[in-house]
Structure 1
Amino acid sequence: MDFRQLERFLAVVDHGGFHRAAEVLYVAQPSLSQSIKQLEREMGDALFHRVGRGVVLTEAGRELVGPARMAVHALGLAVESVLPNTEHYRPTLELIGYGIPLLVEKPLVFDLDEADRLLAEAGDLFFAINFNHRYAGPVVRARRDISDGRLGRLSFATWRFGGEGGSAHHPYANLIETQCHGIDMLEHLLGPIDVISAEMTAGRLTLAVAAHFAGGAVGSLVGSYDSSYAYPRTHHVEVNGDAGRLLIDDTVRQYELSAAGAEARTVWEAGYFNDRARSFHETFDAHLDALVPALRAGAPPPVHAAAGRRALLVAYKIIEAFETGRRVVVPPG
């Protein structure tokens, strides 16, 4: 069954018959009747007794009303959850209460206590977050090459990403809602960050972070809302090891791998007809291509919402480092 079937079923219930329900829904009555018949076939039972021009619910129909209203309400909340980034918490918490599998946009929330509440309430619920940068072709190649040892012992990494400001009214909006991608990406490629220090401009729209990774490498993250997404190479990632170096430009545009001491390098760019690999928006579809089979199989999501909580934790340690002027230890997990 789908949302439209349930919506039409409830319209017949609420308006006492097919004629008035079709008028309210602005659909032809035969189309409405066909939807209900299909729903009855899927349920394996009749939902209405036809009485004259009206209808009366069968026992199966009465049992469906409550769950149908809950599902339609929850799906309505899912539409409402397309909100400013600072307003994710309440709709997400309510959807979790209905037991609905979730894929949420980043940031998870702006408050660590709220993040902990969401994860605690979700329990074993399928609860994913859209860190879609992980599914860009160059990033997939980078992770594979690092895993295969082509960079050797990792020594340092750089993330730079700048553009115009978003709509969130939060003093650290750039860090929490946008640079969470950088935090997640650096840890995705190099493992957990364990020490942080930070500087920011007066308006906190631009930040520079120095990081130490538990594996021994160091790194930097530079993010800005005083820049422009129109600039070429607005996004840049570099990872160096003692055996090689990799570069990622503009997330999906180009991937470059060099071996230490070699003047030649390997470069990947999407071919002429490979529009999908060239499109940033296709990273969302690539994530869904991994997420949907996991959901159907009852497996954990490929990027659990806990990754959003982790990025938020690191962000708050960056804030602490900036506000105190000290190096700050980032706990694991």
Structure 2
Amino acid sequence: MRVAVVGAGGWGEHHARIFVRREDTELCAIVGRTPEKTRRRAEKYGATPYTDLDLMLERERPGLVTVCLPNEDHYDLTLELVRTGVPLLVEKPLVFDLTEADTLLSEAGDTFFAINFNHRYAEPVQRAKALIDAGELGELVFATWRFGGEANHGNSPHANLIETQCHGFDLLEHLVGPISALSAHMTDKTYGAFSTVALALDFENRAVGTMLGSYDSSYAYPDTQRVEINGTRGRLVIHDTVRALTFSKAGDPVEQRWHSTYFDDESRSFAGTFDRHVDAVLRALRAGERPPVHARAGRRALALAHAAIESHATGRTVRSIPWTGPTRS
């Protein structure tokens, strides 16, 4: 399958790395905004550089286009691409504006339109999902998400909430179930944006939860990303997405722990979660199936973020945050 990557930035290099190394894909093109930077990236991976998207599509005719642009610059180019009908895999966040999200989904129709919520593909997360689905935790009662690191400054005062904590919204709903209500506290004390947020959650299954997300912390801290899910029969903790999973049964002081083995470098790599997602994306695309994580999941995370913004602005809990789309991803 011929694949074109739109974006020549840092995470965009992982897009190029994945498709040039696979035996079942050919990285045919890199599209960027800066000619020299785009040329260097394309030369590094043996692809053709383009600064004209339409010209690339005409000449290369890719079977899949992946998009990795600056977080607040997703809409215009993604809209142009969905109108061509080419299968897409886009980076999170989908966009910052709900109207724009709805336009993208409406224009895409039944076109293959995937979003990269790669945390779902971490080994600890997949093992956690299996434990929950097998009933090992019993009835889920509460869940917590914490994710904090250095600032990624942007134009939006809610950049942290929309572009980074979207992973938290998606993963908690993936593991626990739909969020039915939330209330929010936020602070802009450090540099003017709402760089740290604390949310209280209700789930449809009557569990409760919390989210703490920050751009005023450091990725150097141990457990800067931590997910805890507690049920009537047990508790699990995901440490730093890929580092470890611990599981304890209620009343048992002996803890079970998964960690990557000596030779298993792949499962301890955060970038490797994207490789795993691409495996699933290509299987679905070749089989004519819907994406494993449809772009509608990006719209859902954005809706939850906007509910948090509304809650903070009004000082009230926001309830009834409906899922939009024919099926949940």
Range of TM-score over shorter length: 0.7 to 0.9
Q: Could you tell me which of 163, 187, 191 is aligned with 2:173?
A: 187
Describe the shift of the 1:153–1:82 C-alpha distance in structure 2 as closer, same or farther (beyond 3 A).
Answer: closer
Partner secondary structure for residue 246 of structure 1: strand
Specify which structure has the higher proportion of helix.
1
Structure 1 residue 69: Cα displacement: 6.5
For residues 231 and 68 of structure 1, what CA distance do their matches in structure 2 show? 45
Q: Is the 8 A contact 1:245 1:258 kept in 2?
A: yes
Q: Could you tell me which of 143, 155, 161 is aligned with 2:147?
A: 161
Amino acid in the other structure paired with 1:206: T
**2:58 maps to which residue?**
71
Matched, 1:145 2:131: yes
Structure 1 residue 260: Cα displacement: 0.4
5+ unaligned residues in a row in structure 2: which ranges? Answer: 5-25, 29-42, 44-53, 324-329
Aligned residue pairs: how many?
A: 273
Q: Encode CA deviations 1:225-253: one digit per residue, 9 max, x unaligned.
A: 00111111110000000100000000000
The two structures, once aligned, show a CA RMSD in angstroms of: 2.4
Amino acid in the other structure paired with 1:265: E
The structure with more radius of gyration: 1
**2:302 maps to which residue?**
312
**1:211 maps to which residue?**
201
Partner secondary structure for residue 89 of structure 2: strand
**2:233 maps to which residue?**
243
For residues 147 and 232 of structure 1, what CA distance do their matches in structure 2 show? 28
Amino acid in the other structure paired with 1:97: R
**1:95 maps to which residue?**
81
Q: Is the 8 A contact 1:105 1:129 kept in 2?
A: yes
Q: Is the 8 A contact 1:70 1:98 kept in 2?
A: no
Partner secondary structure for residue 281 of structure 1: helix
Identity of aligned residues (%): 57
Q: Encode CA deviations 1:278-322: one digit per residue, 9 max, x unaligned.
A: 111000001011110100011000000000000000000000001
TM-score by length of 2: 0.79
**2:164 maps to which residue?**
178
Describe the shift of the 1:241–1:169 C-alpha distance in structure 2 as closer, same or farther (beyond 3 A).
Answer: same
Please give the residue correspondences for 1:1-333 in structure 2 after superposition, counting only pairs within 5 Å: 70-72=57-59, 81-202=67-188, 203=192, 204-333=194-323
For residues 107 and 187 of structure 2, what CA distance do their matches in structure 1 show? 37
For residues 132 and 248 of structure 1, what CA distance do their matches in structure 2 show? 15
TM-score by length of 1: 0.78
For residues 166 and 91 of structure 1, what CA distance do their matches in structure 2 show? 22
Q: Is the 8 A contact 2:68 2:90 kept in 1?
A: no
Amino acid in the other structure paired with 1:142: A
For residues 315 and 120 of structure 2, what CA distance do their matches in structure 1 show? 31
Q: Is the 8 A contact 1:182 1:221 kept in 2?
A: yes
Q: Encode CA deviations 1:112-160: one digit per residue, 9 max, x unaligned.
A: 0000000000000000000000000000011111110000011000000
Structure 1 residue 332: Cα displacement: 2.1
Structure 1 residue 3: Cα displacement: 7.9
Q: Encode CA deviations 1:59-104: one digit per residue, 9 max, x unaligned.
A: xxxxxxxx986434887xx68x532111100111111111110000
Q: Is the 8 A contact 1:159 1:238 kept in 2?
A: yes
Amino acid in the other structure paired with 1:71: E
For residues 3 and 171 of structure 2, what CA distance do their matches in structure 1 show? 36
Q: Is the 8 A contact 2:180 2:319 kept in 1?
A: yes
Q: Is the 8 A contact 1:317 1:330 kept in 2?
A: no
Q: Is the 8 A contact 1:196 1:330 kept in 2?
A: no
Amino acid in the other structure paired with 1:287: H
For residues 94 and 197 of structure 1, what CA distance do their matches in structure 2 show? 36
**1:61 maps to which residue?**
none
5+ unaligned residues in a row in structure 1: which ranges? Answer: 8-25, 27-66
Describe the shift of the 1:319–1:310 C-alpha distance in structure 2 as closer, same or farther (beyond 3 A).
Answer: same
